[in-house]
Amino acid sequence: MIGAMVALTVIKLLAASGLPVFVIILVALAAAAAVCMAVGYTIERIAYRPLRRAPKLAPLITAIGVSIILQNLAMLIWGRNYHAFPPILPTSQHEIFGATITSLQVAIVLIAALMMTGLIILIHRTRLGRAMRATSENPPIAQLMGVNINQIISFTFIIGSALAAVAGLMVSANYSIAHYYMGFMLGLKAFTAAVLGGIGNIAGAVLGGILLGLIESLGAGYIGDLTGGFLGSHYQDIFAFFVLICVLIFRPSGLVGEKVSERA
Amino acid sequence: MLEVTGLRVAYGGIQAVRGITFHVEQGEMVALIGANGAGKTSTLKALSRLLNAAGGSVRYCGKEISALEPHQLVSEGIALVPEGRGVFPRMNILENLLMGAYSRQDKAGIAADSAHVFSLFPRLEERAQQLAGTLSGGEQQMLAIGRALMSRPKLLLLDEPSMGLAPLMVQKIFEVIRAVAEEGMTVLLVEQNAKLALEVSQRGYVMESGEITLTDESSKLLANPRVREAYLGE
Ligand SMILES: Nc1ncnc2c1ncn2[C@@H]1O[C@H](COP(=O)(O)OP(=O)(O)OP(=O)(O)O)[C@@H](O)[C@H]1O
Ligand SMILES: [Mg+2]
């Protein structure tokens, strides 16, 4: 949400400048990423680091609190209205297998694939990524290996925030709209997608996201027929949570999440 | 090399370590033995800075280290093999070893050292790509020791390497510990298995309810009637 709002503000400011669209988007993206990284770092510093030794429920509640604060701050800054995304992007439509897809959507899929690949390489192929995994698996032992876990956790928040900024911009560009509350449902659905794929598995999360999107779209399209007209397509959100509940009950490790027995 | 003076550890109001004093000289293997709950693990955790000591001083190579952050100790040359091994279960053997070398940058040296670890534990080489969480307890212990060696420590702290292992595996692990010590490593060995620990070490300390009650050369402790009765089951 913050990423989308910052990007939108920058785009509006620059829209009349006559700069090429591509440059405007890049500047907006850079600004959005920079703001989100700063916000992510700050949140970790003041809201999570003090809870490092607290029970697991504490950071969860804090997360909810932080999100409420951020939403209200955003409302103060940008107001409660929906902001239309300026129509600066070229929108050509293509037909693939009978489905209509815009060039924007193609770009979104490509960018998502690029981010996924980059993240997988970072986490699984680099020294920094190993330190991140070690810190998430066992913080004290990671420290014994010489990992400065505070540094690693800060860095993880910064990367995550930058990715969220890109995602926020893509969502608002796709739906041509942004507002202070857009992140709430998105966050829940992103979480559902990650659970569906298997927490901790990056490609799984992307797969979960695609599946969830399909389930939602198809479900929303047919829900009227399925319920004899009792429920309309505006009930599409129930599918995400139906999926979440089913995964948690029947396959808590997710679709591709492997179970690793932790022998003592 | 290591000089511990009046070290105290407390959990809330409960004193687990009540002002113990001991030292380990360069190149020595020293055993710290004691019954369940004597405070051995608490002592090692305080040394490796995973716990804040309630008092006392820890000097390592003449330098006070009791205020350092835990992640700073590796570069000082201290490595701990924790009780219960503490391998990273979702990483494979190779990645676990690389984590042990996290504080180092020399690629060639790291490769040479992982080859050395594999020569000490051929079992690990066969399984280099296997997730550590799926290894047997003995293999995990090998990995934990190998991982600690990967940082090229000067002082190795071992917390109950024999715990939960079959006699044959214990023997194998201790052969390696002995070999590592013979290469010149300084070792502080915490063990419940007093006989084993006193057989491989030069000196020993006996810990009871948070205090060191006895210290001597290991061979003399092995012959000490009090030790024989309390720890060797005679
Ligand atoms: N996290 C903790 N909170 C409270 N008390 C603790 C904690 N950890 C250890 N203790 C207590 O401190 C005392 C010493 O424990 P410690 O683990 O150091 O013993 P130990 O000598 O390593 O025993 P063992 O041989 O069984 O591993 C015990 O009485 C234990 O109950
Ligand atoms: Mg112990």
For A168-213, what is each residue's pLDDT tens digit? Answer: 999 998 888 898 999 888 888 999 999 998 888 888 999 999 999 9
Question: pLDDT category, A262, cuts 50, 70, 90?
Answer: very low
The alpha carbon of A130 and the centre of ligand 2 are apart by a number of angstroms equal to 28
Residues A97, A124, single domain; the answer is yes
> Whole-model pTM?
0.89
- What is the distance of C-alpha A150 from the center of its chain? 23
In chain B, the residue whose alpha carbon lies closest to the alpha carbon of A257 is B90
pLDDT at site B44: 97
Q: Which of A134, A143, A263 sits opposite B88 (nearest CB)?
A: A134
Residues A187, A128, single domain; the answer is no
pLDDT at site A141: 97
Question: What backbone phi and psi angles, to 5 degrees, belong to B172?
Answer: -60, -50
Residues A240, A135, single domain; the answer is no
Angle value at C-alpha B43, between B74 and B15, nearest 5 degrees: 140
pLDDT digits (tens, 9 = 90+) for B140-164: 999 999 999 999 999 999 999 999 9
Residues A209, A255, single domain; the answer is yes
Distance between CA atoms of A49 and A154, rounded to whole angstroms?
9
Residues A123, A249, single domain; the answer is no
Residues A34, A95, single domain; the answer is yes
Domain boundary among A181, A197, A232: A181
Mean local confidence (pLDDT), A16-36: 91
Q: Is the pLDDT of residue A261 over 80?
A: no
Q: Is the pLDDT of residue A98 over 90?
A: no
Residues A77, A88, single domain; the answer is yes
**Total count of domains within chain A:** 2
Angle value at C-alpha A121, between A214 and B149, nearest 5 degrees: 135
Residues A138, A261, single domain; the answer is no
Distance between CA atoms of B53 and A40, rounded to whole angstroms?
33
pLDDT at site B52: 93
Distance between CA atoms of B179 and B182, rounded to whole angstroms?
5
Residues A92, A174, single domain; the answer is yes
Q: Is the CB of B16 under 6 A from ligand 1?
A: yes
Give the domain range for residue A248: 182-264
Verify whether the Cβ–Cβ distance B88 to A138 is below 8 Å: yes
Mean local confidence (pLDDT), A24-34: 94
Residues A14, A130, single domain; the answer is yes
ipTM: 0.92
CA A202 to each of CA A206, A208, A213, B51, B228: distance values in angstroms, whole numbers, following the listed order:
7, 10, 17, 34, 56
**For an interface test with B, which of A145, A150, A154, A262 has the most B Cβ atoms less than 10 Å from its Cβ?**
A145
Residues A194, A151, single domain; the answer is no
pLDDT at site A259: 53
User: Residue B128 class from Cβ within 10 Å (0-12 exposed, 13-18 middle, 19+ buried)?
Assistant: middle
pLDDT at site A234: 78
Number of CB pairs, chain A paired with chain B, less than 8 A apart: 87
> β-pairing, B203-208 with B29-34?
parallel
Distance between CA atoms of A247 and B165, rounded to whole angstroms?
38
> Can you give the residue ranges of every domain in chain B?
2-231
Domain boundary among A181, A204, A234: A181
Mean local confidence (pLDDT), A123-149: 96
Verify whether the Cβ–Cβ distance A130 to B131 is below 8 Å: no
Question: pLDDT category, A258, cuts 50, 70, 90?
Answer: low
The alpha carbon of B54 and the centre of ligand 1 are apart by a number of angstroms equal to 15
pLDDT digits (tens, 9 = 90+) for B28-60: 999 999 999 999 999 999 999 999 999 999 999
Residues A88, A150, single domain; the answer is yes
The lowest-confidence range among A71-75, A253-257, B9-13, B106-110 is A253-257
- Percent above pLDDT 70 for chain B: 100
* For the CA of B210, the nearest ligand: 1
Mean pLDDT computed over every residue of chain B: 95
* Listed residue (A49, A200, A69, A198) closest to A123, CA to CA: A200
Domain boundary among A157, A181, A205: A181
A92: left (phi over 0), alpha (psi -120 to 50) or beta: beta
Look up residue A146 and give its DSSP letter.
T
Question: pLDDT category, A257, cuts 50, 70, 90?
Answer: low
**Choice from B40, B192, B207 to test ligand 1 binding pocket (greatest atom count within 8 A of CB):** B40
Q: Under CATH, which architecture does the B2-231 domain have?
A: 3-Layer(aba) Sandwich (3.40)
